Amino acid sequence: MATSDDFVRAQARALIRVLVHYGLDRGAVGERTTIWHDVETFGHSVAAAGDLKTIGRKHAGTAAAVFCGGVKHRAPNAALYLALASFTRASPPYRFLDSSRWIALSFAFRDKRAVAEAAIQSEVLERLEAAFAAETELGAKATPEAGSVLPHQEKKECIRDNTK
């Protein structure tokens, strides 16, 4: 039987899955942000739901700076950062709703628009909910054991093995 911690970790995995689906895992410099890694690691760990709020507090200062500067200049990466940050702070019913708004705004900023289209936000929200449903169906099978290698770490290991 799934616990509330399993539920929140499945939400985190669903968020990362949708961001990767949209190609948002490729930042301006080709690296994922620290908050991205923290949310992804949380989704594949045995951490408690309260640890998600700890991640949010850890990145609160950066999120505030991103909000002040990035949104003003309509930076798509700023909106993406805020999607991840809002996910860590929102209550369970609003995690996907708040994140979908920021993801849709990221697309708008990328297209040099100031306002996100409601249809895009609805599509993102539907994808988040579908990814969450898939994650909960997979249950424990989708979650690696604590201490195992995450998908982004596997790729680095493969590259290192090829250079030997």
Asked if the structure places residue 10 within a domain, the reply is yes
State the total domains in the chain: 1
Question: Does 76 reside within a domain?
Answer: yes
Q: How many CA atoms are closer than 13 Å to the CA of 48, on its beta-carbon side?
A: 2
Instruction: Report pLDDT digits (tens) over 81-126.
Output: 999 999 998 787 789 999 999 999 999 998 988 888 999 999 999 9
Domain that holds residue 66: 4-142
Quote the CA–CA distance of 31 and 85 in Å, as a whole number. 17
This prediction's pTM? 0.78
- Lowest mean per-residue pLDDT among 18-32, 114-128, 140-154: 140-154
Q: Confirm whether 39 is domain-assigned.
A: yes
Q: Let me know if residue 122 belongs to a domain.
A: yes
What's the mean pLDDT when you consider all of the chain? 81
Minimum mean pLDDT range among 112-121, 126-135, 155-164: 155-164
Residue 153, domain member (yes or no)? no
Would you say residue 43 lies in a domain?
Answer: yes
Say which residue the tokens 């708008």 belong to.
Answer: 108
Confidence check: pLDDT of 157 > 70:
no
Residue 65, in any domain of the structure: yes
User: Which helix (H) or strand (E) element contains residue 82?
Assistant: helix 76-89
Residue 8 covered by a domain: yes
Count of beta carbons in the 10 Å neighbourhood of residue 88: 24
